[in-house]
């Protein structure tokens, strides 16, 4: 019996990896354009880190974490998201001494024990960013605009919803008003919401039950409870988003699934993935760094789910993103094959994507491989070419062929071939 992958864990196969690379490269490029630097953090952390940051009455901590005892009996967890680990690292390594504002991004796998379905896996991948050390509303706008730009440049449509969750000064009065509202309708709420109405009332607004949502239509709006400072901050975020043409809608019921958020929160949503419509989300977490024992610096970040981006892109019929070979070297006869083998290395050193057959296959078969590999050119070196000190460069699309003479040094020869290829590709 063959061994299968774990439920909710998926291979990313060579045929789809081109899309992954395209998305990741586009995002990295945009992160760098916005002055972000990469940070790589471990996949395992002490369980306590996530319990203290994400919040112990959230779905993630209550039922989704991969937590286990390691061989020393200490409780460790496979990271369910990136923010907690990045902040842990920021504090532990004193990254704040590099400058008062740190712009960081990280890309990698996350783990949540959820019910696997379309767009929902147990190992999934996020690209996430954090800005630590700035209170400016324009930083919120930069971060949201950057997320928006990623979707634009990879060619996806989504809608952007924003909200403000207030701060430690103003949220308690909203919490109280909401709790009062929930008490009046207590018997109509689902079991989860009943439980949450006491321990974490804001989270009820995120409930997926239609019944509950029907009740919450008339719930108090957090935006009416914001203090002056939070209200000004939110106004500036909205104004500056408009200034740079990022279209948004305010959704006062968006609360996000993690406890650490303050002030601005946002979500990027698509209607094309059914229930798994959230492709990215984030917000401010101004008290979190201090809460974890670091300096009292504000923060903001977001995470985008790679699987959902890949799914959306593959639903669109656009050209396959697959790295094509520049050339396939076709050789015939022992001497030419040996010469070709050395040339192949020189071509790769020149930066060309090049392959040759190593199984001693026939000329016809080698040409077939060139075709199958989607090579742009075939470079043919047979006994006849070897004797004439030349090699034939065949354009696989037009079928046109050109002879290129040997030069004394093989590096120069490879360089001439590269130049010819680049010219013809123009």
Residues that bind ligand ATP (CB under 6 A): 81, 112, 114, 119-121, 124, 126, 257, 276, 278-281, 303, 305, 307-308
- Shortest approach of ligand ATP to residue 212 CB, angstroms? 15
Torsion over CA: 281, 284, 289, 290 (sign): negative
- Shortest spacing between CB 307 and ligand ATP, in angstroms: 5
Q: What are phi and psi of 92, to 5 degrees?
A: -60, -35
Minimum Å distance from CB 155 to ligand ATP? Answer: 17
What tokens appear for 210 in the block?
A: 């239609």
Asked if 143 and 212 count as a contact pair (C-beta separation under 8 A), the reply is: no
CA–CA separation, 62 and 140 (whole Å): 29
Give the Å distances, CA to CA, from 410 to 73, 173, 349, 366, 416: 60, 77, 11, 23, 10
Written as six digits, the tokens of 250 are 């305010």
Q: How far apart are CA 363 and CA 121, in angstroms?
A: 46
Residue 120 or 138 with smaller CB distance to ligand ATP: 120
Work out how close the CB of 252 gets to ligand ATP at its nearest, in angstroms, rounded to a whole number: 17
DSSP assigned state of 66? E
Decide whether 262 or 331 has the Cβ nearer to ligand ATP: 262
Nearest residue relative to ligand ATP (C-beta) = 305
Taking the complex as a whole, how short is the minimal distance between the CB of residue 342 and ligand ATP, in angstroms? 47
Q: How far is the CB of 251 from ligand ATP (least distance, A)?
A: 14
Residue whose CB is less far from ligand ATP, 281 or 386: 281
Check: CB of residue 266 under 8 Å from CB of residue 282. Answer: yes
Shortest distance (Å) from residue 17 CB to ligand ATP: 17
CA separation for the pair 358, 67 (Å, rounded) = 47
**Choice between 81 and 259, CB closer to ligand ATP:** 81
Distance CA 209, CA 92 (A): 41
CB closer to ligand ATP, 209 vs 231: 209
Nearer to ligand ATP, 85 or 366 (CB): 85
Smaller CB distance to ligand ATP: residue 120 or 322? 120
Residue 44's Cβ-side half-sphere holds a number of Cα atoms within 13 Å equal to 7
In this complex, which beta carbon is closest to ligand ATP, that of residue 237 or of residue 303? 303
What's the CA gap between 193 and 364, in Å, rounded?
Answer: 69
CB of 126 to ligand ATP, least distance (A): 5
Burial class (CB in 10 A: 0-12, 13-18, 19+), 241: buried
């Amino acid at each position: 019996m063959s061994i299968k992958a774990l439920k909710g864990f998926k291979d990313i196969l060579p045929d789809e990896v081109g899309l992954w690379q395209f998305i990741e490269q586009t995002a990295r490029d945009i992160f760098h354009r916005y002055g972000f630097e990469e940070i790589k953090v471990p996949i395992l952390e002490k369980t306590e880190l996530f319990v203290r940051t994400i919040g112990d009455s959230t779905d993630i901590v209550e039922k989704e974490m991969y937590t286990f005892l390691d061989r020393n009996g200490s409780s460790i967890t496979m990271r369910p998201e990136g923010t907690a680990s990045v902040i842990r690292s920021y504090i532990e390594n004193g990254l704040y001494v590099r400058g008062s504002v740190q712009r960081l991004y990280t890309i990698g796998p996350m783990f949540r024990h959820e019910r696997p379905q379309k767009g929902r896996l147990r190992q999934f991948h996020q690209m996430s960013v954090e800005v630590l050390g700035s209170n400016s509303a324009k930083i919120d706008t930069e971060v949201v605009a950057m997320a928006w730009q990623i979707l634009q440049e990879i060619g996806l449509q989504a809608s952007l919803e924003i909200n403000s969750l207030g701060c430690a000064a103003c949220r308690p009065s909203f919490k109280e008003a909401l709790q009062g509202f929930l008490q009046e309708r207590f018997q109509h709420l689902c079991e989860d919401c009943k439980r949450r109405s006491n321990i974490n009332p804001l989270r009820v607004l995120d409930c997926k039950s239609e019944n509950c949502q029907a009740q919450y239509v008339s719930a108090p709006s957090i935006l009416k409870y914001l203090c002056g400072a939070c209200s000004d901050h939110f106004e500036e975020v909205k104004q500056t988003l408009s200034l740079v043409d990022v279209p948004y809608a305010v959704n006062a019921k968006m609360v996000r699934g993690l406890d650490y958020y303050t002030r601005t929160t946002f979500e990027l949503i698509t209607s094309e993935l059914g229930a798994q419509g959230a492709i990215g989300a984030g917000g401010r977490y101004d008290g979190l760094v201090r809460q974890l024992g670091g300096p009292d610096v504000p923060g903001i970040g977001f995470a985008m789910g790679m699987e959902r981006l890949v799914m959306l892109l593959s639903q669109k019929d656009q050209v396959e993103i697959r790295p094509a070979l520049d050339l396939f070297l076709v050789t015939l006869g022992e001497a030419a094959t040996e010469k070709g083998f050395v040339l192949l290395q020189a071509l790769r050193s020149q930066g060309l994507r090049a392959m040759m057959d190593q199984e001693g296959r026939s000329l016809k078969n080698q040409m077939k491989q060139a075709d199958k590999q989607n090579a742009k050119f075939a470079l043919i070196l047979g006994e006849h070419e070897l004797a004439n000190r030349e090699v034939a460069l065949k354009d696989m699309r037009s079928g046109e062929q050109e002879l290129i003479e040997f030069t004394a040094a093989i590096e120069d020869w490879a360089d001439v071939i590269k130049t010819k290829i680049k010219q013809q590709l123009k």
